[in-house]
Structure 1
Amino acid sequence: MDELIDILNPDGTPTGKTALKSEAHKHGWFHATVHIWLFTSNRKILLQKRALTKKVFPGLWDISVAGHIGAGESILSSAKREVFEEIGLVLEEKELIKIGTRIHQVKHANGIQDNEHHHVFIAELKVPVSELTIQKEEVEAIKLFDLEVLKSTEKLENVLLSKFHPYYCMVYDKIITNEKK
């Protein structure tokens, strides 16, 4: 779905301009996204299998929920909206724990240029996966994996991308640190 998003400077500050997501990806303009990693109390991580119709990484088991922040939308509102849209889960703002912002720059073979500021959150998944409802346009399936999959160097077929291993390890560390609180 093409949506209107705010365009950012490379340092993440707003330019005051908006554009369609497709235009931002075509021209490599910086913009903001949210990543929400959902974990369980028994050390599982929810991953989603990206819909096969996705232009980037179709069919990949990836982040629990991710999406673009709409023009004028707050980061937390976007995170809550994306979680509800993609998997039907209602989260309160206090349940979302921000663990960082990362700059992501990748040029894909299909011409899409991702220049994004990912606002990364973790949250505990407190309901069974069977109670979640996936958005078929975005998500092929959802499944719980052992949390260790985030830091494993053993590559599972079509599960996460090895080039982002340091990012996954950071998420793992933040989840473990959060458990100890």
Structure 2
Amino acid sequence: MDELVDILDKQGNFTGSSMLKSEAHKKGLFHATVHVWVYNRHGEILIQKRANDKQTYPNKWDVSVAGHISAGEDPLTTAIRETSEEIGLRLQESDLYKIGQYRSTVIHNKDLIDCEFNHIYLTELKVPVSELTIQTSEVAAIKLIDINIYLESLKDFSLLKSYVPHPPDYVDLVISAIRRQTL
């Protein structure tokens, strides 16, 4: 779905303009997204398999929830909305813990240059996965995976192709923060 997003400068500051997400991608302009990593006290993270008709990384396993921040919306509100929409998990502001912001640039093709500032949140899963409902237009499946198995999968070239690539420092930031929460 195309939506209006606020355009940011290379430091992540609002420039005062907004445009359609598709246009921002075409021009390679920075905009904001949220990433919500859902974990449980058993050392597992919830990952989602992206729908097969997604423009980027179809059928690949990825962060629990991700979405663009609409123009004028704040990251926390977006995180709550996207989590509810994509996996049916209802959250309050107090359920989310922001661990940081990550700047990312990925050139998919000449018409899709993804320049994002990812606002990264953690939340603990306190209900069974069976109680979650996926948004089939965005998500093909969800599953819990042991953090150590997830990390090993990212090191195995034959398995790595099943996952959306994230830089090692991004993965380290997320996994370290989750481990601190589960100690």
Q: What TM-score do the two structures reach when normalised by structure 2?
A: 0.93
Q: Residues 167 and 150 of structure 1: is their aligned pair in 2 closer, same or farther, counting only changes over 3 Å?
A: farther
Cα distance in 2 between the residues matched to 1:127 and 1:159: 26
Q: Rate the CA distance shift 1:93–1:163 in 2: closer, same or farther, 3 A.
A: closer
How many residues are matched? 180
Give the letter aligned to residue 42 of structure 2.
N
Which residues of structure 2 form unaligned runs of 5+?
Answer: none
Map of 2:107 onto structure 1: 107
Matched, 1:20 2:20: yes
Equivalent-residue separation in structure 2 for 1:126 and 1:158 (angstroms): 30
| 151-160 or 42-51: bigger deviation | 151-160
In the alignment, structure 1 residue 154 sits paired with structure 2 residue 124: no
Residues 35-80 of structure 1, C-alpha deviations (whole Å, 9 max, x = no match): 0000011111100000000000000000000000011001100000
Cα distance in 1 for partners of 2:164, 2:104 equals 14
1:125 corresponds to which letter in structure 2? L
**Cα pair 2:46 2:144 within 8 Å, conserved:** yes
Whether the 8 Å CA contact 1:7–1:14 is kept in 2: the answer is: yes
1:131 Cα deviation from its structure 2 partner: 0.5
Q: Which amino acid aligns with 1:69?
A: I
Q: 2 CA distance for matches of 1:150 and 1:130?
A: 21
Q: Which residue of 2 aligns with 1:118?
A: 118
Match for residue 56 of structure 2? 56
Which deviates further from its counterpart, 147-156 or 8-17?
147-156
**8 Å contact 2:26–2:110 — kept in the other structure?**
no
CA-atom RMSD, angstroms? 1.4
CA deviation profile, 1:10-58 (whole Å, cap 9, x unmatched): 1111011110110000001100000000001111110000000000000
Q: What is the aligned counterpart of 1:171 among 163, 168, 174?
A: 174
CA distance in 2, matches of 1:114, 1:79: 19
Alpha-carbon distance in structure 1 between the residues aligned to 2:28 and 2:132: 34
3-state SS of paired residue (1:16): strand
Q: For the residues of structure 2 that align with 1:49 and 1:110, how far apart are their CA atoms?
A: 25
User: What amino acid maps onto 2:169 in structure 1?
Assistant: P
Amino acid at match of 1:25: H
One-letter amino acid of the counterpart of residue 78, structure 1: T
Matches of 2:84 and 2:132, distance apart in 1 = 9
Matched residue SS, 1:151:
helix
User: Per the alignment, in what secondary structure is the counterpart of residue 85 of structure 1?
Assistant: helix
Task: Give structure 1 stretches of 5+ with no counterpart.
Answer: none
Residue 128 of structure 1 corresponds to which residue in structure 2? 128
Normalised by the length of structure 1, the TM-score is 0.94
Are 1:11 and 2:8 an aligned pair?
Answer: no
